[in-house]
Amino acid sequence: QVQLAESGGGLVQAGGSLRLSCAASGRTFSSYVVAWFRQAPGKEREFVAAISRNGGNTGYSDSVKGRNTISRDNAKNTVYLQMNSLKPEDTAVYYCAAKPSLSLTYYSNYEPYNYWGQGTQVTVSS
């Protein structure tokens, strides 16, 4: 099993940046594909970005592509989401999710992910 803990959220003005972190427990974090999802009030959970277990494959939603960068440091058991040029519509609770995987792929829908963090609030003011 793995436990996930997000951090780095906060209040930022439009155009600003934040870096979210997802810290994982466990010794086999490098065997997990990891993704970020977000959920705004009254809206469904939305895929943001994902990264394969070795960091070689990444994917982004169209809404954040070009503004966000996902990366991971398996030695530190941490995945990062660098968010730039933030917009008010990026306001949401951001969750990281993980799934053990033997492949070097990633998943952009939430069903495959077994483990979820508690979320971190990101608020972008206009």
pLDDT of 26: 78
Beta strands 10-13 and 120-125, pairing class: parallel
Using an 8 Å Cβ cutoff, are 50 and 58 in contact? yes
pLDDT band with cut points at 50, 70 and 90 for residue 104? confident
pLDDT at 9 over 80: yes
pLDDT at 97 over 90: yes
- Comparing CA positions, the residue from 95, 93, 87, 86 lying closest to residue 115 is 95
pLDDT at 91 over 90: yes
Compute φ and ψ for 53, nearest 5 degrees. Answer: -65, -25
* Cα–chain center distance at 90: 13
Compute φ and ψ for 31, nearest 5 degrees. Answer: -95, 5
